[in-house]
């Protein structure tokens, strides 16, 4: 069996319901990139790349020349072949990690189809038949809706500073039996001192984890937060490969790693990350906030086969078209997704639907919420800021009971 071609499918993802394209999903910038590896025997594999899809597509096309004529079943050898091929361009980052992820994902899909087995069975078999998921809420009402649909965990995310009182109101709404998480990812990032102040205020809210409290490049600041705040920390969605996640694990900076299935480097890299984390008693909760449905299938296969699973992030109502571009559709029940059982990844592209949404933009506008920045500084477009009016913005105004 030999690889004959790699085809890419780039699409624009529509806005969230009720919002315009500019104000909707990822401020009008969101793209999904799928690919198909074809062989001379007719078997093909599906994959998905994330990180910067419009740019990653060109990376995939460039790497295709290194794969034509190769046996797709030699997954690890081909991954290293591609990794070495990219080394002349510098360290592997978002673009390289995204291209490697989608290609390797598709190679596993081929191997599973050839052997008539789901990918999880080729990875050592399953620990579990269902994978727990969590949803996103920006209001108490949305949080209660998720709980009513069976979710037992909810995350509230912020651009810029954290609204501690909103977090407290969501905790009140869902009660103490539901896990609650806070994602503090920028822009603009908090300083370590401000992230610590926010974290200490939230200690009484019994969070499952506090995600990306400081800029991911600033590992020393993350260490400061780690030492000062009594809340589990989570990070890692922006890094690729085991070398990218290594300092988070080896320095014990987090309790939860969050590799993105579309840009972590591939299924094998995800499992290696999980094994590294396991040795430090760290769990894994893969990032899925910007991903499409193919990478979600791949995440399930990985999470079925590792012992240190926490949960999978899920954004299931971001855009109605999500359920038109692949088949079958994953449906959560009682806060969990069933494990696919078909050979390979168990998902197929609906190419006619994907073609209806040509890519037009893949760079985010500035956030519309000027409250993410200090008054008068919105136009400065700064990457991080100290928080002024600290007594009112970094303190919980009331004691929460639930």
- By CB atoms closer than 10 A (0-12, 13-18, 19+), residue 66 is middle
Q: Residue 153: which H helix or E strand, with range?
A: strand 153-157
287 in active site: yes
Name the pairing type of β-strands 179-183 and 153-157.
parallel
Residue with tokens 């004691």: 399
Q: Cα(54)–Cα(10) distance, rounded to whole angstroms?
A: 7
| Active-site pick, 89, 185, 280, 301 | 185
Q: How many CB atoms lie within 10 A of CB 89?
A: 12
Q: Cα(82)–Cα(49) distance, rounded to whole angstroms?
A: 15
As separate numbers, helices (DSSP H) first and strands (DSSP E) second, the chain gives: 13, 16
In 3D space, the residue among 139, 61, 65, 150 whose CA is nearest the CA of residue 98 turns out to be 61
DSSP 308-347: -B--EE--TTS-GGGGTSEES----BTTEEEPP-SSBTS-
Q: What is the DSSP letter of 177?
A: T
| Whether the bond into 188 is cis, omega within 30 of 0 | yes
| Residue 396, CA distances (Å) to 141, 315, 326, 399 in order | 20, 28, 44, 7
In 3D space, the residue among 98, 29, 9, 136 whose CA is nearest the CA of residue 367 turns out to be 29
Q: What is the DSSP letter of 355?
A: T
At residue 180, φ and ψ (nearest 5 deg) are: -125, 135
| Active-site pick, 80, 89, 280, 287 | 287
Point out the residues that are catalytic.
185, 287
């Amino acid at each position: 069996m030999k690889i004959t071609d790699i085809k890419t499918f780039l699409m624009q993802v529509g806005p969230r319901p009720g919002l315009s394209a500019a104000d909707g999903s990822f401020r009008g910038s969101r793209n999904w990139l799928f690919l198909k590896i074809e062989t001379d025997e007719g078997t093909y594999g599906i994959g998905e790349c994330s990180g910067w899809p419009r740019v990653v597509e060109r990376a995939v096309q460039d790497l295709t020349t290194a794969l034509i004529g190769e046996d797709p079943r030699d997954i690890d050898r081909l991954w290293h072949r591609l990794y070495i091929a990219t080394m002349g361009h510098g360290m592997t980052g978002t673009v390289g990690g995204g291209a490697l992820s989608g290609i390797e994902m598709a190679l596993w899909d081929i191997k599973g189809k050839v052997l008539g087995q789901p990918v999880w069975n080729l990875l050592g078999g399953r620990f579990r038949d269902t994978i727990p998921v969590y949803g996103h809420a920006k209001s108490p009402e949305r949080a209660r809706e998720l709980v009513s649909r069976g979710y037992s965990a909810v995350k509230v995310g912020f651009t810029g500073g954290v609204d501690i009182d909103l977090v407290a109101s969501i905790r009140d709404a869902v009660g103490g039996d539901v896990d609650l998480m806070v994602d503090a990812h920028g822009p603009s990032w908090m300083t370590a001192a401000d992230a610590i102040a926010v974290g200490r205020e939230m200690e009484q809210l019994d969070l499952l984890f506090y995600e990306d409290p400081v800029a991911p490049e600033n590992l020393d600041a993350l260490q400061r937060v780690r030492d000062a705040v009594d809340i589990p920390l989570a990070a890692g969605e922006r890094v690729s490969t085991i070398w990218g996640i290594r300092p988070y694990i080896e320095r014990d900076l987090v309790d939860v790693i969050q590799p993105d299935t579309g840009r972590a480097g591939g299924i094998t890299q995800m499992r290696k990350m999980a094994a590294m984390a396991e040795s430090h008693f760290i769990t894994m909760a893969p990032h899925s906030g910007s991903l499409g449905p193919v990478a979600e299938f791949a995440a399930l296969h990985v999470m079925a086969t590792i012992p240190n699973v926490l949960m999978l992030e899920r954004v299931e109502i971001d855009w109605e078209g999500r359920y038109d571009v692949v088949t079958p559709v994953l449906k959560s029940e009682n806060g969990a997704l069933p494990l696919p059982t078909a050979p390979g990844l168990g998902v197929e592209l609906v190419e006619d639907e994907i073609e209806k949404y040509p890519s037009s933009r893949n760079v985010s506008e500035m956030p519309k919420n000027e409250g993410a920045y200090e008054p008068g500084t919105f136009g400065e477009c700064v990457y991080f800021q100290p928080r002024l009016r600290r007594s009112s913005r970094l303190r919980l105004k009331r004691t929460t009971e639930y």
